[in-house]
Amino acid sequence: MKVGVLSLQGAVKEHLEMIKRCGFEGIKIKTVGDLEKVDRLIIPGGESTAIAKLAKIYGLDREIIKRGKEGMPIFGTCAGMILLANKVIGNEQIRFNLIDIVVERNAFGRQVDSFEVDLKIEDFSEKPFKAVFIRAPYIKKAGREVRVLAEFKGKIVMARQKNILVSSFHPELTDDLRVHKYFLSENY
Ligand code: GLN
């Protein structure tokens, strides 16, 4: 299986490293042609407005939406989650519309730049996941079809709707492979 990482801006190489550690081939996605070669896609954290603009310039936005609708598994972390959402509060431009969530950007406050917490993730073993949040968004509202996988302080920070997985935090910045293994598993 080949796994693409959208490589326009943001934390690309950390995801590639995690993919490799999970035993799969990671490929940088910069063009529509690159996207055709992969079976799954990760949209990394970074600056969602910048990634959205570049994706549009390269025509990748339309292709990602198309593949996502066809059922290709896509995992968005942080800025990636913002891009995949149906609605982003205060921003009409960013929207791939692939998961029925309303997202609030920088939702933990601008002062709280980054922090780490022990998170309980549904379906994962009892051992908490060390989640790293960086100017993170959270899910303000999730539709009926969306399964909530983790919450922090009553706010949804990880969710899934069919083939689309999103997290507010950065699993690629830890040593814990569980989130990537979950997304890359055969029966995901
Ligand atoms: N705050 C960023 C945004 O709105 C997301 C931060 C991140 O991806 N670490 O795009």
Question: Would you give the distance in Å from CA 60 to the centre of its chain?
Answer: 16
Cβ atoms of 184 and 95 closer than 8 Å: no
Residue-wise pLDDT for 141-163, tens only, equals 999 999 999 999 999 999 999 99
Ligand 1 midpoint to CA 142 (Å): 19
Q: Which residue type does 65 have?
A: I
Diameter over CA atoms, the chain: 43
Residues with Cβ within 6 A of ligand 1?
A: 45-48, 78-79, 82, 105-106, 134-135
Tell me, what's the pLDDT at 92? Answer: 80
Tell me, what's the pLDDT at 71? Answer: 98
Residue-wise pLDDT for 13-28, tens only, equals 999 999 999 999 999 9
Tell me, what's the pLDDT at 134? Answer: 94
State pTM to two decimals: 0.96
Residue 172 designated active-site: yes
Q: Which helix (H) or strand (E) holds 19?
A: helix 12-21
Average pLDDT (52-56) is 96
Mean pLDDT of the chain: 95
In the CATH scheme, what architecture does the domain 2-184 have? 3-Layer(aba) Sandwich (3.40)
**166 contacts: CB under 8 Å, gap ≥ 6:** 75, 76, 77, 80, 81, 84, 85, 99, 101, 139, 158, 159, 160
Per annotation, catalytic residue among 63, 78, 104, 180: 78
Write phi, then psi, for 25 (nearest 5 degrees): -90, 125
Tell me, what's the pLDDT at 103? Answer: 97
Tell me, what's the pLDDT at 110? Answer: 67
Indicate the domain borders of the chain. Answer: 2-184
Tell me, what's the pLDDT at 112? Answer: 64
Ligand 1 midpoint to CA 8 (Å): 14
Residue-wise pLDDT for 72-129, tens only, equals 999 999 999 999 999 999 888 778 999 999 999 988 876 667 899 999 999 898 899 9
Residue 170 designated active-site: yes
